[in-house]
Amino acid sequence: MIAVDSANVKLSSLLKDNSVELGLKGRNKAEIINELVDIIAKSSRAKSRSMLSCAIMEREKLGSTALGNGVAVPHAKIEGIKQTVLAFGRSAEGIDFNSLDGGKTHLFFMLISPKDDIGAHLKILAKISHLIKDRFMVSLFKNAKSKKEVLSIISNLEKVP
């Protein structure tokens, strides 16, 4: 895990090979969230898988984090987490994630941040939102053949001023 400098947040510094899953199998919101939580729990020093899952599900009760265009960004700020963690998952079939546009959701960026690091959390959410608002970008993520390709897409975009 990497400490986040909120002034210079880079998704490429947060997202690593072991936090990308291109074959999510969940058939509903809870199953997808649990798969993503498992990825985060395995790829970080997160102490409690159930705490992560509960925090994400509580956040979802406030309103769906599915932004439309086939993308959702489930996220939470958690007490006791020391560093920001990001995971990416893709579901080939797509699921109903209560998207704003009513469509199926295929791409998931899960963000877990320290409770007191609001600035970095919001900047990362903004960067992800900017990244996936373009249908062409969403298509690149949907069609990526490997974890390395997903990481390369993000890294290359961050090089563009």
3 state SS of 157:
helix
**Cβ(115)–Cβ(79) under 8 Å?**
yes
Q: Where are the domains of the chain?
A: 15-159
**Which is higher by pLDDT, 73 or 157?**
73
Model confidence pTM above 0.85: yes
**Residues 6-28: pLDDT tens digits?**
447 789 999 999 999 999 999 99
What are 12's two structure tokens? Answer: 């490429």
The mean pLDDT value of the chain amounts to 90
**Residues 62-71: pLDDT tens digits?**
999 999 999 9
CATH fold label, 15-159:
Mannitol-specific EII; Chain A (3.40.930)
**Residues 42-59: pLDDT tens digits?**
877 666 888 899 999 999
